[in-house]
Amino acid sequence: MRWLIDGYNVMHAAGRLGPKLSREGFRRARRRFLDELADVLSVELEGDVTVVFDASVPPGDFPISSTYRGLRVIFAYGDEDADSRIEYILGHDSSPKTLTVVSSDRRIREAASRRRARPLTADAFLDLKDHPHAFSNTATTRQPEIDRDAVVDADEAAYWSETFREVEDLPGLRDVASPDAALITDAEIAEIQRLIDRET
């Protein structure tokens, strides 16, 4: 299994980016994130991992493209953003079905689905990271294709409605189930961009 990870998107979801980070604090947070990723993924997976970060200026502590503890690290300097670089990588990958793309950005998840790669939100990835044994199941098990054109009869629809009626009322379910729940707000994007711009 191969992984293509939207770095700042996952760092944000993990609560690693905040308004009070200094330039050096930002760099330390990024390196700690990469260290944790390397620790988990190198133990649990034999596949390769690419982490893509936004970069409006060259980073002060990494080359634009390098290998760090077995992770391929790319700063999307010269691209519009990390999303554009991820879409480029996806579009030119010769075996996208073996790729899991991690981002809460709907644009990236849709691009992954179009190429038959496996899209995974940052929150779902962090859940896996916190339970490393789950990586082995994720790496070897591909979810079956869903026949979206299949017709569901009234009896089956009633059965499933009754079965899941109580689930709808669980606290916080709407936040989790909403396709926009994991999206980053404009203010959060602006804060991440401010941190990126302070690299030099």
> Looking at the domain assignment, is residue 29 inside a domain?
yes
Give the pLDDT of residue 94.
93
The answer to whether residue 68 is domain-embedded is yes
In a domain, 116, yes or no: yes
- Burial of 27 per CB tally in 10 Å (0-12, 13-18, 19+): middle
Is 26's pLDDT higher than 60? Answer: yes
What is the Cα–Cα distance from 103 to 8, expressed in whole angstroms? Answer: 9
pLDDT class of 133 with cuts at 50, 70, 90: low
Residue 54 lies in a domain: yes
Provide the CA 170 distance to its chain's centre, in angstroms.
Answer: 26
CB-count burial class (<10 Å; 0-12, 13-18, 19+) for 170:
exposed
Q: Is residue 110 part of a domain?
A: yes
- In total, how many domains does the chain have? 1
In a domain, 138, yes or no: yes
- pLDDT at residue 86 is higher than 50: yes
The CATH number given to whatever domain includes residue 39 is 3.40.50
Query: Can you give the residue range of the structural domain that contains 89?
Result: 2-144+184-197
- Between 65 and 136, the more confident residue is 65
Q: Alpha-carbon distance 177 to 170, whole Å?
A: 11
Whether 152 maps to a domain, the answer reads no
Question: Of how many residues is the chain composed?
Answer: 200
Per-residue pLDDT, 40: 84
CA dihedral sign, ordered 184, 127, 15, 194: negative
Q: Is residue 167 a part of any domain in this protein?
A: no
User: What three-state secondary structure class fits 193?
Assistant: helix
Whether pTM > 0.85 for this model: the answer is no
